[in-house]
Amino acid sequence: MISAIYNLALTTGANRVVRGARIEHVCGDPSLGPDKDYAYGMRIVEGALAAICAPVTGPTLFDPHAEAAHAS
Amino acid sequence: MTTPLRVVHYVNQFFAGIGGEEQAHVGVSVREGAVGPGRALEAALGDAARVVATVIGGDNFVSENQDAAAKAIGGHLRELAPDVVVAGPAFGSGRYGLACAVVCRAARELGLPAVTAMHPENPGAMAHRRDVVIVPTGESSTSMPAAVAGLARLGLKLARKEPLGPSELEGYLSQGARRVWDRGRPGHARALDMLLDKLHGRPFVTEVPFRAPERVEPAAPLADLSRARIGMVTTGGLVRKGNPDQQVAANAARYHRHSVAELEALSPKDWEAYHAGYFNHIVNTNPNYILPLSFLRDLERQGRIGKVHEWMYALPGVSTPVAVSTRLGKSIADDLKAGGVEGVLLVAT
C-alpha cells in the first residue's frame, strides 16, 4: 500500500506500507518539474515493488525517501 | 400469586455431571428441573421463575453437528414451551460457547426469547454476538456468580417480554445496533468529566469504544518480480472523465474495474479524480499520481516486472464503513487472484 498518511495505514494493520509523497499527489511531486517529478514518483513505485518482494511479519514501513537520503 | 415463568436451561455434558472430554460426544437429552449451575440460576431467579427442564448436549456433538443439534434442541424446546431459554454460562470454553449460541438461535427460530453468557472472546460470541443476547463473563467458572446473576436478570426481562435497552445499560455484549437513549447530561459535560477523570488517573468508560483493526497474515514475498503479473488498485476516487459510471465521491458502496490493456499512461483527458476527502485538482492534471500506470509500463518495458495486469480497480476511499470496505476489498482481492495477479500496488490518498 502506497500512502502519504502511512502512520494511519500501519496502525490499521496494512502489512507493507510505502511512504508516498503527499495526499494530493501520492506518487510524485509536481512542484519538482516534470523530470524530477517522474524520478521521484518512480522511486516510490520501485519502493513499493521492493516491498512486495520483502518478507514481513506485521505492519512494516518502507520509506523510499529515507533510502534516497542515505544514498545522497 | 402468579404462576412462575417457565425457564429451560441448557448446559453441556460437563456441567450436567455426565463427564469431561471423554463424554463430549454425547447427544442431546433432557432432564426435569434444574441441573448443576441451573440450581444457582433458579436461586437467582427467585419466586418469579423456575427452571422447568434442562437440555443437555455434548460439546463435540453440538459444535460439530450444529444443524442436527439445533433440530434436536428445537424439538425439545417446542415441547417444553418455556417463556425464556437460558444457555450456559460457557465462560472461555469455545465449543460450549458455540453450542450455547446454537441453542439461542434454535430458540429464536421458534419465537422464544433466549440469553446466554460467555467471555467476549469466546468463538461463540465472536461469531454470534450480533444476533444472540450474550452476558459477558470472565474466562473461567470463578465468575459464575456474576454470570448467573446477569442471566437471571436478563432472562426475567425477556421472559416478561420487556424490551431490552442499550447493551451498555443492560449488561450484554453490544450487537452493533445503535439505540437512542438519554444519558441525562449533555455531551460536552460528559466529555469534560471524562477528560478530568483521565487527567486525574481515575477510571472512566468511553462512549465510543475502540475496535482494534483486524490483523491480516502478511502475504509471502514475491519470488521473481521480473516474471510477476502486477495489478493496481486505487482508493483515490479515480473515474473516467465526466464520471459516466456515476460513482459517488464518498461512502462508496461499489468499486469499478477498468481495462488499462491499451493504455501507456493515464491521460488527464480521459481520467480524473472524484473524491470528497482531498483536493482533487493536482490528480486531475496527472492521474498517474494515484494509479501508477506510466511507471509500471516503463518497468514492464525494461523487464523489471513481468506484466501489468489488464484490469485496475478504483473507488473513493472515504467515509465507507469498515464492514462495507471489507466486503469490497475481499471482492477486489478475489478478482485479482482469479486473474492470476501475483503482486498489487494499492495507492491510498
Please indicate, yes or no, whether residues B32 and B161 belong to a single structural domain of this protein.
yes
Domain boundary (B170, B203, B236) is at B170
Same domain, B147 and B274: no
| Helical (H) or strand (E) element with B153 | helix B144-159
B258 in a structural domain: yes
Instruction: Give the residue from A66, A49, A38 showing the smallest Cα distance to A2.
Output: A49
Question: pLDDT grade, residue A71 (50/70/90)?
Answer: very low
Kindly report the CATH number assigned to the domain that includes residue B105.
Answer: 3.40.50.2300
Length of chain A: 72
The torsion angles phi and psi of A18, rounded to 5 degrees, stand at -110, 130
Domain that residue B75 falls in: 5-170
Q: Is residue B199 part of a domain?
A: no
Q: Which of B170, B192, B217 is the last residue of a domain?
A: B170
Within 8 A of A13 by CB-CB distance, chain B residues are: 213-216
Asked whether the beta carbons of residue B348 and residue A52 sit closer than 8 angstroms, the reply is: no
Gap from A69 CA to chain B (nearest CA, Å)? 21
Q: What average pLDDT does the segment A23-37 reach?
A: 96
Cell matching residue A48: 513499493
Instruction: Give me chain A's average pLDDT, please.
Output: 91
Residues of B in contact with A25 (CB under 8 A): 282-283, 286, 289
A61 vs A43: CA distance, rounded Å:
15
- Alpha-carbon distance B140 to B218, whole Å? 33
Residue B185 covered by a domain: no
Residue B129 and residue B30 share a domain: yes
Q: Which residues of A touch B218 (CB under 8 A)?
A: 15-16, 55-58
Q: Are B229 and A68 in contact (CB under 8 A)?
A: no
Residue B208 lies in a domain: no
CB contact under 8 A, B283 and A24: yes
Distance from CA of A70 to the nearest CA of B (A): 23
Residue labelled with grid coordinates 464503513? B321
Question: Among B279, B295, B348, whose Cβ lies nearest the Cβ of A45?
Answer: B295
Check whether A72 has a pLDDT greater than 70: no
Residue B297 resides in a domain: yes
For the entire predicted model, the pTM comes to 0.64
- Select from B170, B195, B211 the last residue of a domain: B170
User: CA torsion sign, B130 to B135 to B139 to B140?
Assistant: negative
> Is B190 among the domain residues?
no
Q: Considering the domain boundaries, does residue B202 fall inside one? A: no
Give B139→chain A minimum CA distance, Å.
Answer: 27
Residue A55: its chain B contacts at CB < 8 A? 218, 220-221
Q: Is A68 exposed, middle or buried (0-12, 13-18, 19+ CB in 10 A)?
A: middle
Asked if residue B239 and residue B163 are part of one domain, the reply reads no
Question: Are residue B164 and residue B251 in the same domain, yes or no?
Answer: no
**Beta-carbon count within 10 A of B86 CB:** 36
Compute the distance between CA of residue A5 and CA of residue B139 in angstroms, rounded to an integer. Answer: 38
Mean pLDDT by 10 residues, chain B (349 residues): 90 96 94 97 96 97 94 97 98 95 97 97 90 96 95 97 91 87 92 97 86 86 97 98 97 97 98 96 97 98 98 95 90 97 97
Domain tally, chain B: 2
B37-77 confidence digits (pLDDT tens): 999 999 999 999 999 999 999 999 999 999 999 999 999 99
B295 shares its domain with B231? yes
- Is B20 in the same domain as B153? yes
Element (H, E) at B80: helix B66-80
Q: What is the pLDDT of residue B1?
A: 58
Q: Taking CB atoms and an 8 Å limit, are A41 and B216 in contact across chains? A: no
Rounded Cα distance, A29 and B6, in Å:
71
Say how far apart CA B98 and CA B62 lie, in whole Å: 8
The answer to the question of residue B206 being in a domain is no
